Amino acid sequence: MPPPTSEPRLLSPAQLQSVQRIAYDCCGLDLRRGKEALIESRISHHMREKGFTDVREYLSLLDGGRNRDMLDGLLSHLTTNHTYFFREPSHITFFEKHICAPLAGTREKLFVWSAASSSGEEPYSLAIAAREALGAEAATKVRILATDISLRMLARAREGVYPAEALTSMAPPLRQRYFQLDRASERYRIRDEIRAMVAFRRLNLIEPLPQFPPADVIFCRNVMIYFDAPTRAGVVDRLIERLRPGGYFFVGHSETLGLADERLGYLEPSAYRRV
Ligand SMILES: C[S@@+](CC[C@H](N)C(=O)[O-])C[C@H]1O[C@@H](n2cnc3c(N)ncnc32)[C@H](O)[C@@H]1O
């Protein structure tokens, strides 16, 4: 019997390299080793969505990343957007009890930046936590800027509508207080008072950051794991520059920074404060 033939590859080695280079240069994603199958499956998904059958035609329109629309689509497929409400809950509890609650009855305000917000679960969890700590005062006291590189995720986040499975990580009373069930679609819509606390905007963490006021709190969680060490160091450096002294910095639980940066003091696992 002849040996089984291996599946034909979608991308030649040169084409694969060019996609890896685009992902790295445009987004900081380190997809160089062992990610070939992932790249191929994500590209074929994007090709199907755009109606391409020929990968050469697809790459030629991508034009090395110069076609912004195609690049956005490609990056949206290559990035990992997995997230959920109240992820890494010790951070959200810390935010609610130690950062928001002390603002009650004061004139102080809080500017929070969720720096890789994906489909909105993280910034909405923070808005809910602030509302739990401050009640109606949260609406005027806490402002959350949620940014992501992916236009597709930002659109989903702005819509603020989630299937029931997406809310299972949240205590049921919170779901009842802050979501409305749309009976027709059986999906849950975040209530207006929570949505109004969050502004969404596209921002690429590896590019020079646009101007906005220094943040009191930055959440940059579960994105730096996809960057290599130099990219990660550059991103952390720029984020700390945007944090006001005394401000709080949260990274993902698997992204602990150590205490290499003298501008940061350690609070608890993956939570820091600018000194
Ligand atoms: C795994 S999600 C993390 C979401 C949330 N922070 C959490 O912890 O659940 C990673 C997000 O980072 C975004 N991302 C990847 N590279 C980025 C970059 N260079 N600039 C901004 N966002 C980026 C992706 O689009 C994705 O939505």
CATH code (residue 68):
1.10.155
pLDDT per residue as tens digits for the range 200-218 = 999 999 999 999 999 999 9
pLDDT of amino acid 258: 62
pLDDT per residue as tens digits for the range 110-157 = 999 999 999 999 999 999 999 999 999 999 999 999 999 998 899 999
* Whether 191 and 102 share a structural domain: yes
* Whether 176 and 248 share a structural domain: yes
* Final residue in a domain of this structure, among 78, 102, 122: 78
Answer whether 221 contacts ligand 1 (Cβ < 6 A). Answer: yes
* Whether 170 and 242 share a structural domain: yes
Which structural domain, as residue segments, surrounds residue 199?
89-274
Lowest mean pLDDT, pick from 41-45, 122-126, 259-263:
259-263
Q: Is 84 part of a structural domain of the chain?
A: no
Answer whether 87 contacts ligand 1 (Cβ < 6 A). Answer: yes
CATH code (residue 252):
3.40.50.150
* Whether 102 and 74 share a structural domain: no
Substitution site in 42, 74, 118 for ligand 1 pocket (most atoms within 8 Å of beta carbon) = 118
For ligand 1, the distance from its centroid to the CA atom of residue 96, given in whole angstroms, is 23
* Whether 105 and 19 share a structural domain: no
* Whether 66 and 190 share a structural domain: no
Q: Which helix (H) or strand (E) holds 42?
A: helix 36-50
* Whether 31 and 103 share a structural domain: no
Query: Which residue in the list 87, 131, 143, 148 is annotated as catalytic?
Result: 148
Q: Is 56 part of a structural domain of the chain?
A: yes
Q: Is 250 part of a structural domain of the chain?
A: yes
Q: Is 3 part of a structural domain of the chain?
A: no
Answer whether 169 contacts ligand 1 (Cβ < 6 A). Answer: no
Report the C-alpha gap between 263 and 237 in whole angstroms.
Answer: 10
Reply yes or no on whether 42 is catalytic: yes
Amino acid at 55: V
Q: Is 1 part of a structural domain of the chain?
A: no
Q: Is 2 part of a structural domain of the chain?
A: no
* Whether 121 and 60 share a structural domain: no
The tally of domains found in the chain comes to: 2
* Whether 96 and 24 share a structural domain: no
Q: In the predicted model, what is the mean pLDDT of the chain? A: 93
* Whether 244 and 147 share a structural domain: yes
Substitution site in 29, 84, 145, 149 for ligand 1 pocket (most atoms within 8 Å of beta carbon) = 149
pLDDT per residue as tens digits for the range 209-254 = 999 999 999 999 999 999 999 999 999 999 999 999 999 999 999 9
Q: Is 7 part of a structural domain of the chain?
A: no
* Whether 50 and 113 share a structural domain: no
Q: Is 135 part of a structural domain of the chain?
A: yes
* Whether 32 and 137 share a structural domain: no
Report the C-alpha gap between 13 and 15 in whole angstroms.
Answer: 6
- Could you tell me if 197 and 160 are in contact, meaning their C-beta atoms sit under 8 angstroms apart? no
Amino acid at 152: R
* Final residue in a domain of this structure, among 41, 57, 78: 78
Q: What is the CA radius of gyration of the chain?
A: 21
* Final residue in a domain of this structure, among 50, 78, 106: 78
Report the C-alpha gap between 253 and 269 in whole angstroms.
Answer: 7
What confidence tier does 22 reach under pLDDT thresholds 50, 70, 90? very high
